[in-house]
Amino acid sequence: MASPELKKMMNAAIARELKVSIQYIFQHIMIKGKRARFIGTELRAIAIVEMLHAEKIAERLVYLGEVPTTTPDLVDITGSEQEILQKDLAEEAYAIELYKKIIKMANDEGDSTTRLLFEQILAEEELHHQTFQTLLGE
């Protein structure tokens, strides 16, 4: 069904989703500044969506016979409002590129379910990317 390389990339996606869900929820709590309440609300909402992404990818991996990772990539909750938003924008850009690779690989392997899952997640990651661009005033 899915190659070992595709499963490895899916586990990397879970580690990233876990990372940002933790990172964004703690940034939501810790952010300071004039727009902290507004930005914090956005961070919290995105954190919840990211955790749901991790869950969906994990469910797919289990179906494919793989044990999903429970270890997030390194979380970074430090910085000013601007620094936090720049880091988070970069996280979303990274996810977009990774998920495009996963979609291509799943398509090449004939795994339409994994391809469709990541197409749905990709669309949400692009919205997150746009949200961070807007918050940065870009």
pLDDT over 80 (residue 138) = no
Share of the chain above pLDDT 90, in %: 96
Contact 112, 20 (CB under 8 A): no
Split into its structural domains, the chain has a count of: 1
> Whole domain around residue 36: which residue ranges?
4-136
In this structure, the chain runs to a length of 138
CA distance 72 to 75: 8
CATH of the domain at 52: 1.20.1260.10
Write the pLDDT tens digit of every residue in 18-52.
999 999 999 999 998 899 999 999 999 999 999 99
